[in-house]
Amino acid sequence: MKLSLSLQQDFQSPELVLKRASIKKVVETTLGHIGTQSNCEIGIACVDHDESHKLNLEYRGKDKSTNVLSFPSDLPDEMAQFLDAFPIGDLVICIPVVLAEALEQQKAPLTHFTHMLVHGTLHLMGYDHETSDEDAEEMEGIEIEILAKLGFENPYLERD
């Protein structure tokens, strides 16, 4: 599998320095873990509160900014055979929310950003945690496995 990554950093922070190669590795590890074999492309935008708020309100009806929004591609799977890389969709990650949550959860900003990147990528691939407790447990378990492969601890452990 080969991944094509489009990265847009509209919001940057000295507390969270993002490297394209690291982001690509996280997405590739996530896709590989769930068995994706075809070439894929993904768009990732790192945004501020205002942009996240606007998109969250428009697409989810929620009047606030949020950590990650996932916009899966609506291209039918059967089109993959005609493309060099199948577009799986776009992620919009609100850096100020990720930084605030990392502080609140006593995590390093990069650790929480990586979790949100894995989480959002799984959403693009059809995983859901809002439909049922079983789906949430399955998704969390997969996230824990992927993050362990990347050298990160279980993000769902309680901190003192």
C-alpha 124/C-alpha 137 separation (Å) is 17
Q: What angle do CA 62, 56, 70 make, to 5 degrees?
A: 125
Please report where in the chains the tokens 């859901």 appear, as a residue: 128
Please report where in the chains the tokens 């362990």 appear, as a residue: 148
Amino acid sitting at position 30: T
The DSSP-derived string for 31-50 is: HHHTT--S-EEEEEEEE-HH
C-alpha 44/C-alpha 121 separation (Å) is 10
Q: In 3D, which of 78, 19, 8 has the Cα closest to residue 43?
A: 8
Q: Is 129 annotated as a binding residue?
A: yes
Q: Is 112 annotated as a binding residue?
A: no
- Which residues sit in the known binding site? 119, 123, 129
Residues in binding site for Zn(2+): 119, 123, 129
